[in-house]
Amino acid sequence: PPAAMGLPGVAPPPLSPLSPLSPLSLLLALSLLSRGGSAGSSCPAQCVCASNLLSCSQANLSLVPSPLPRFASVLDLSHNNVSRLRGDWTAARLPQLHTLLLSHNGLAFVSTEAFAPVPRLRHLDLSNNRLRSLEENLFSDLGELEVLLLYNNEIATVDRTAFENLGRLRKLYLGRNRIARFPLELLREGSRLPQLALLDLSANRLRAVPAGELQALPAWLRDRLYLHDNPLGCDCALFQLLARGRRRRLSAVLDFQEELRCVLPGSAPPASVGILELAGRQPLANGSLELRALRAEDGGTYACWVAGPLLNETLYVELLVHNFTLHGPHDTLNTAYTTLVGCILSVVLVLIYLYLTPCRCCCCRAAEKAPAPRDDSINSSVLSTTPNHEAGRAEPRPAPGGGSGQNGRFKAGGTPPAAAPQGPKVQRKVSDPDSVSSVFSDTPIVV
């Protein structure tokens, strides 16, 4: 109308109730009202509906709202207070629902008939609840389920039929529970879970995992079987299996090397444990401790011990920390300087002893090398026999005619001395002093 266009002075024509536009407008209004009423009756008041998505999260619900629209494909009931999921939690079947989120509800009970109304479910999240066990045939109605999240519950027992008919299950998360034994026979090739490619059993209470059963698992499952943060017993076969997985660079081993630890059999946990925050201190794989940003109080004795029925070993390491900024390097340099001076003095003393000590043996050596007075014959002075002695006197007599004159010995060819009148004496044959045979003769010498 002209008034709507801002033309002054022109009044709009009156709208007749029989105008041809009124039935069309009325039909459109009725259509919108009917659709709005249908949507309002299908979408619960506590939820937000957008197309086929229903979000009822954080609505402080203790029961699942009803009725739910049949066309829903995603239903989010997380962060509520739904503690029990009965078989009649929904009034009608939800044939198109493929994702159901029930995490953070304090859920403690799930009926074995609870999943019968949702046979097309592919993603089920029951994490962060208070489930204590997985009963038999609990998920048997979910033949198309692919992802099952059960981590961070209180699950202690797992029935081997709980995962019956889950032929399409690919990922199973059971971390942070209280499981002490898991039926690994369900995971063998061609078993009840033929397509399982990821199994998370971390942070449970598994003490023994047979290495033979792990070896029998399919290769694609061994690569993504997470066993870290479990009190596993120190078994050589299991250690070799994990070491082989590390060499093959399996992600389940490489990504959680620090969390893969074992406990010695028979070792009891200590009664009281002191916790030391190692901020800036990193234990290395070889057992050493890397210290960064040292402080003066970090100095001292560090002890590393391993105790148990099979091993008892303690290692002490002394760490000295010196603040060069405050005190300077004097203490360290004093020690080094003292050591250097001691070494130099030792070398100097050795050189003084070797080269400056007077030799007291030179005179003796000169005396020994002085020539002896020469005789008329070398043989007479070296090889001659003992001079003749008498039985009663050892003093030689002068030879008549000047026969003596060379040290009391007689010259060759000289006359022997006259016999003394003092009784009988034994005559001996005088030998030539220049003859070698006078010493080496076989004739005995008689005095």
% of the chain surpassing 90 pLDDT: 31
Greatest alpha-carbon span in the chain = 203
pLDDT at residue 326, rounded to an integer:
60
Q: Cβ distance 187 to 193 under 8 Å?
A: yes
pLDDT of 140 over the 80 cut: yes
% of the chain surpassing 70 pLDDT: 60
- In 208-251 the beta strands, taken as DSSP E runs, fall at 225-226, 232-233
pLDDT range class, residue 441, cuts 50, 70, 90:
very low
pLDDT at residue 285, rounded to an integer:
66
Closest by CA position to 380, among listed 310, 439, 297: 439
pLDDT of 437 over the 50 cut: no
- What is the mean pLDDT of the segment spanning 380-394? 44
CB under 8 Å to 387, separation ≥6 — which residues? 396, 408, 409
**Structure-token pair, residue 13:** 């024509």
Does residue 20 or residue 134 have the better pLDDT?
A: 134
pLDDT at residue 216, rounded to an integer:
82
- What is the mean pLDDT of the segment spanning 204-214? 86
The amino acid that residue 31 corresponds to is: S
pLDDT, tens digit, for every residue of 82-111? 999 999 999 889 999 999 999 999 999 999
Element (H, E) at 51: none
Omega prior to 67 cis, within 30 of 0: yes
pLDDT at residue 394, rounded to an integer:
41
pLDDT of 73 over the 80 cut: yes
pLDDT, tens digit, for every residue of 4-53? 333 333 334 443 333 343 443 433 343 333 333 344 347 888 899 988 99
Residue 232 has phi, psi (to 5 degrees) of -70, 140
Does residue 122 or residue 361 have the better pLDDT?
A: 122
pLDDT, tens digit, for every residue of 279-306? 556 667 666 777 777 777 777 777 776 6
pLDDT range class, residue 358, cuts 50, 70, 90:
low
- What is the mean pLDDT of the segment spanning 311-333? 66
Ranked by mean pLDDT, the top range of 227-231, 279-283, 398-402 is 227-231
pLDDT at residue 20, rounded to an integer:
42
Q: List the domains of the chain with CATH numbers.
A: 43-263 (3.80.10.10), 295-344 (no CATH)
CB under 8 Å to 117, separation ≥6 — which residues? 89, 90, 92, 93, 94
pLDDT range class, residue 366, cuts 50, 70, 90:
low
pLDDT at residue 31, rounded to an integer:
38
- What is the mean pLDDT of the segment spanning 239-253? 81
Does residue 410 or residue 33 have the better pLDDT?
A: 410
- How many CA atoms lie within 13 Å of 312's alpha carbon, on the beta-carbon side? 2
pLDDT at residue 109, rounded to an integer:
95
**Distance (Å, rounded) from C-alpha 382 to C-alpha 338?**
64
The amino acid that residue 403 corresponds to is: G
**Does residue 168 sit in helix, strand or coil?**
coil
pLDDT at residue 380, rounded to an integer:
43
pLDDT range class, residue 360, cuts 50, 70, 90:
low
Lowest-pLDDT range, 25-29, 199-203, 310-314, 323-327? 25-29
Q: Cβ distance 40 to 21 under 8 Å?
A: no
pLDDT range class, residue 190, cuts 50, 70, 90:
low
